[in-house]
Amino acid sequence: MYKEYLTVSNIVGPLVIVEKIEDVKYGELVEIESGDGLFRRGSVLDVSTEKAIVQVFEGTFGLDVDKSRVRFLGRSQQLGVSEEIIGRIFDGSGRPKDRGPQIIAKKMLDITGSPINPDARDYPSEFIQTGISTIDGMNPLVRGQKLPLFSGSGLPHARIAAQIARQAAVLGKEEKFAVVFGGMGITFEEANFFIEDFRNTGALERAVLFLNLANEPPIERIATPRLALTCAEYLAFDLDMHVLVILVDMTFYAEALREISAARKEIPGRRGYPGYLYTDLASMYERAGRIKGKKGSITLIPILTMPEDDKTHPIADLTGYITEGQIMLSREIHRKGIYAPIDVLPSLSRLKDKGIGEGKTREDHADVLNQLFACYARGKEARELALILGEAALMDIDKLYLSFAGLFEDEFVRQGEFESRSIINTLDLGWKLLHTIPRKELKRIRPEYLEKYYSEEK
């Protein structure tokens, strides 16, 4: 039923060039049958009257020029969805990986999706309690936000992500929710960690996993996060669920994109990544959000490992420009043996302001947050100073800040992997630490809250 082409002229990296084609469309899904009878899939990246450039998802290993048969399928890559998708594990191309049956699709969805009309967006304002003080207290997450974890190799981002998936809840509400997990280029052990954690906590029953492991074709990674997000859109906007999407590891995704770009001999941007990396990442990240009049929501936590902990690396940098803040992990705090090693100073949640305060968390939240930031920043400055001059040379007030920074890391940042602190506990803990600083130094807090929460005798 489809025309078969035997006119492959060139195979380079993940790309196949097919000549003498007719009626091929941009973005079309392609099926390639190699000489040994194996099927692979790909999509059209560039088409002209003479030839089409096809990117092959499964890689071009073992393909040849003369025997490969190419079929153009007349549609773009799709994901079949139904309620039964929940609780299942798929590979990076959307095929079942858990020995379960194929999904009988109620709907076929294009995996690239369409942009949400900005006019249809509802502003995220529901506070999600993750039970982690450095997130809830300092960089609160709200429903519909995209908040990445910026990590480095060897840091416990997987444990933190799993803890968030386990503990995340909206205060005072019982609602349908689901976790969608997209793993790109991660190791078997890392994937297994998540599966086991989800299984042990019963979260697997309301999770959907798409896994492309490190030894699976890199090009498949281009599709994996899109499959996960398409699935999330279905759960959120068709089935009214609150969906938390975790994507690990965006660094491997971007590297796969670079591989294709290099094979196409495109003019590279920074560090060899294609100039359109921003747009490409945005086309995924921006799928998170809320829509007016819909119950469900998509909250997105992409995780990326920054090469050499460098946040100016293009992947981290461009991600930071698209997402609504970032949670930054710190090797320094990790070395001190503190879990969760989140460095609050360079971390940020842009959407916090509408998600906190009276009726959502507590009236004093915003002020306490700002004050803790300011005190900790000053404490760290004092710490640097003490390193050079010795602690004795510090002014009295700076000594107080210095000890505040230590206390902050030891009591506020440090917590158990299975410890879920309520936001009230977190804020009270913040006040307890602020009591070590004289009242007139606390300029970021409104007088009425100082009156209420800061008692001299403590």
Partner 1 sequence: MKQGKIIRVAGPLVVASECLGAKMYDMVKISELGLIGEIIELKEDMAFIQVYEDTTGIGPEEPVFLTGKPLSVELGPGLIGSIYDGIQRPLDVIRSQKGDFVTRGIELPPLDREKKWNFLPLVKQGQEVSPGDFLGEVEETPLVKHRIMVPYGSAGKIVEIKKGKFSIEEIVARIQTENGLKEMKMYQTWSIRKNREVYERLMPEEPLTTGQRVLDTLFPIAKGGTACVPGPFGSGKTVVQHQLAKWSDAQIIVFVACGERGNEVADLLLSFPDLKDPHTGRPLMERTIIIANTSNMPVAAREASIYTGMTLAEYYRDMGYSVALMADSSSRWAEALREISGRMEEMPGEEGYPAYLASRIAEFYERAGKVICLGSDRRMGALSVIGAVSPPGGDLSDPVVQSTLKVVKVFWALDDKLANMRHFPAINWLLSYSLYIENIKGFLKNQVAEDFIAIRQETMQLLEEESELQEIARLVGVESLSERERLILESSRSIREDFLHQNAFHPQDTYTSLRKQYLMLRTIIHFHHQGLRALEEGRSLDEIVNLEVREKISKMKFLPEEDSDMLEIYIEVDNTFKKLLQSKE
Task: Give CA–CA dist 120/346, Å, rounded.
Answer: 31
* Cβ-proximal residues to 20 (8 Å cutoff; 6+ apart), any chain: 5, 7, 50, 51
How do 78-81 and 107-110 pair as beta strands? antiparallel
Tell which positions 298-317 bind partner 1, by CB under 8 A: 311-314, 317
Q: Does 99 bind partner 1 (CB under 8 A)?
A: no
Residue 104 vs 267, nearer CB to partner 1: 267
Residues from 26 through 45 that contact partner 1 (CB under 8 A): 26-28, 45
**Window 124 to 183, contacts with partner 1 (CB under 8 A):** 124, 144-145
Which is nearest to 441 in space by CA: 401, 389, 413? 401
Contacting range for partner 1; rule: CB under 8 A; set: 5-13, 94-102, 284-292, 331-339 = 284-292
**# residues contacting partner 1 (CB under 8 A):** 81
Q: Is 455 exposed, middle or buried (0-12, 13-18, 19+ CB in 10 A)?
A: exposed
Q: State which residue, 28 or 190, has the beta carbon closest to partner 1.
A: 28
Task: For residue 248, give the amino acid letter.
Answer: V
Is residue 438 close enough to count as binding partner 1 by CB under 8 A? no
Examine residue 270 and tell whether it contacts partner 1 (CB under 8 A).
yes
Within 13 Å and on the Cβ side, how many CA atoms surround 133? 24
Per CB under 8 A, contacts with partner 1 among 327-346 are 345-346
How many angstroms separate the CA atoms of 131 and 175, rounded?
Answer: 18
Question: Out of 6, 38, 108, 120, which residue is the one contacting partner 1 (CB under 8 A)?
Answer: 120
**Which residue's CB is nearer to partner 1, number 49 or number 215?**
49
- 456: phi then psi, degrees, rounded to nearest 5: -60, -35
| Six token digits for residue 54 | 């096809």
By CB under 8 A, tell whether 393 contacts partner 1: yes
Q: Pick one of 9, 279, 422, 455: the residue that binds partner 1 (CB under 8 A).
A: 279
Q: Based on CB atoms, which residue is closest to partner 1, 44 or 213?
A: 44
Give the nearer residue to partner 1 in terms of CB position, either 193 or 373: 373
* Residue closer to partner 1, measured from CB, 92 or 296: 296
- The reply on whether position 283 binds partner 1 by CB under 8 A is yes
User: Near partner 1 by CB under 8 A, which window of 107-115, 158-166, 177-185, 423-431?
Assistant: 107-115
Site for partner 1 in 349-378 (CB under 8 A): 350-351, 353-354, 366, 370, 373-374, 377-378
24 binds partner 1 (CB under 8 A): yes
CB of 317 to partner 1, least distance (A): 5
Q: Is 239 in the site for partner 1 (CB under 8 A)?
A: no
**DSSP bridge pairs for 32:** 40, 70
Rounded-to-10 torsion of CA 183, 187, 193, 194: 0
Q: DSSP secondary structure string, 264-333?
A: TTPPB-GGG-BTTHHHHHHHHHTT-EEETT-S-EEEEEEEEEPGGG-TTSHHHHHHHHHSSEEEEE-HHH
DSSP state of 218: T
Please state the closest distance from residue 306 (CB atom) to partner 1, in A. Answer: 12
Among 395, 406, 410, 418, binds partner 1 (CB under 8 A): 395
d(CA 145, CA 12): 39
Paired strand residues for 129: 169
Determine if 25 is a binding residue for partner 1 (CB under 8 A).
yes
